[in-house]
Amino acid sequence: MQGTQPDGPSAGNAQAGDTQPRPNSLRSGPDARGRFGIFGGRFVAETLMPLVLELDHAYAEAKADPAFRRELDYYLKDYVGRPSPLWFARRLTRELGGAKIYMKREELNHTGSHKLNNVMGQILLARRMGRTRIVAETGAGQHGVATATVCALFGLKCVIYMGATDVERQKPNVFRMRLLGAEVVPVTSGAGTLKDAMNEAMRDWVTNVRDTYFLVGTVAGPHPYPEMVRDFQSVIGEETREQMHAAEGRLPDIIVAAIGGGSNAMGIFHPFLDDASVRLIGVEAAGRGLDSGETAASIQRGRPGVLHGNRTYLLQDADGQIDEAHSISAGLDYPGIGPEHSWLHEIGRAEYVGATDDEALAAFQLCTRTEGIIPALECAHALAHVAKLAPTLDPETLIVLNVSGRGDKDIFTVAAHLGVTL
């Protein structure tokens, strides 16, 4: 339906499950093998394969069940607090002096980020499947907090794997998760970041297959996770479409979002994939610079490979060993990216650029000072790119920045970089 009305949202198609993409739509992926072009798939050990197939089946059933949709809508509205506003950033627009900048306020969701959109959907699915124990990986802790939150809400056992380095730099979120009743397990293998937490969560899942649900936080992992997480996050883009239509009477020209695994970006991009006039820009964490050797920019500095259940762009050496990523933002500190992004990159539908640690820090302060919004360091990367782009564009151009999370969790990191002792 959206394909036949490219210039505006149509009433009644705001939900994730009920839009039928056109036959030649870019929104129809993945295929039956879970692939977006050559990317995606199901590269897991045999022990997990039957579980992945069961999940695929259970998700397809839930997706087709109006009762599941109604239940999810109820929680999204009354617990998560959706819809989130689309805010015209007046002072930021004036300060940058160019394109008109809107902010999609995902940081206003309960738990302070877009993560709860996906977690809410998956926890309802886990309950449908009769699972009683939830495991999840987390980087910045936003996904861990969201997961611990819904486990508290439904009285489920919750184990969160978090790299030891991240446990150290995200202390407020670690405390939050423990308050919520979750067991937080610091992972010391590797560099102790998100990649290692993902390995450890997979090891837990393979060990506790009978009662455990692995609640993946991003649009990566074996099929159906990339598709399912995207579907649950697409509410961001669907609302943006309607809200922009109400505010400006047309589609936005440019959408900018930060990318680690890429779930907030996929969520806001996906409903616009068939609208060729909308530029989609994903901002990867360049770390200390794209060519510094200390980066998390998987698309710009990686090449396709297989890790954590899917084929996608990965930072790796010539022998296929996975490199450690680097970013000031724990949530972007991952050497891979969701497979659908890899595909969108290869077909040229979305652009992928980088923002460095320093640029993100400057954007973090800019946003706080001009809009009174303290953004997460993750989405500060997206804002850093907007700050470069907006001044080059005319005032008629409409940019949407996805403010995927709030930055309270990052104030210690930012203070340390600014030389302030708290």
Partner 1 sequence: MSPASGRPSSRIARRFAALKEEGRGALVPYLQACDPDYDTSLALLRAMPGAGADLIEIGVPFSDPSADGPIIQAAARRGLKGGSTVGRVLEMVARFREGESDTPIVLMGYLNPIEAYGVERFCADAARAGVDGLIVVDLPPEEADLLEGPAAANGLDLVRLVAPTTTDARLPVVFDHASGFIYYVSITGVTGTRTASSDELAAALPRLRAATDLPVAIGFGIRTPDQAAAAVRVADAAVVASALIATLEDSLDEDGRATADTLPRVLGQLGDLSRAVRAARK
Quote the least distance from Cβ 328 to partner 1, whole Å. Answer: 23
Using the rule CB under 8 A, is 50 a contact of partner 1?
Answer: yes
Q: Is 24 in the site for partner 1 (CB under 8 A)?
A: no
Of 305, 338, 375, 405, which one interacts with partner 1 (CB under 8 A)? 305
Residue 319 or 396: which CB sits closer to partner 1? Answer: 319
Report, in Å, the least distance between residue 134 CB and partner 1. Answer: 17
Residues of span 188-227 touching partner 1 by CB under 8 A: 189-190, 195, 198-199, 202-203, 206-210
* Mask for 320-339, x = binds partner 1 (CB under 8 A): xxx-----------------
Alpha carbon dihedral 8, 268, 303, 186, in 10-degree steps, equals -170
From the CB of 31, what's the least distance to partner 1, in Å? 13
Contact 173, 141 (CB under 8 A): yes
Whose Cβ is closer to partner 1: residue 56's or residue 107's?
Answer: 56
Which three-class secondary structure state does DSSP give residue 87? strand
What residues act catalytically? 115, 137, 404
- CB of 70 or CB of 210, closer to partner 1: 210
Q: How many chain residues interact with partner 1 (CB under 8 A)?
A: 36
Stretch that binds partner 1, among 82-90, 275-283, 305-313, 400-408 (CB under 8 A): 305-313
Identify residues 339-358 at the interface with partner 1 (CB under 8 A).
none
- Contact between 44 and partner 1 by CB under 8 A: the answer reads yes
Binding residues for partner 1 (CB under 8 A): 33, 41-51, 189-190, 195, 198-199, 202-203, 206-210, 305-309, 314, 316, 318-322
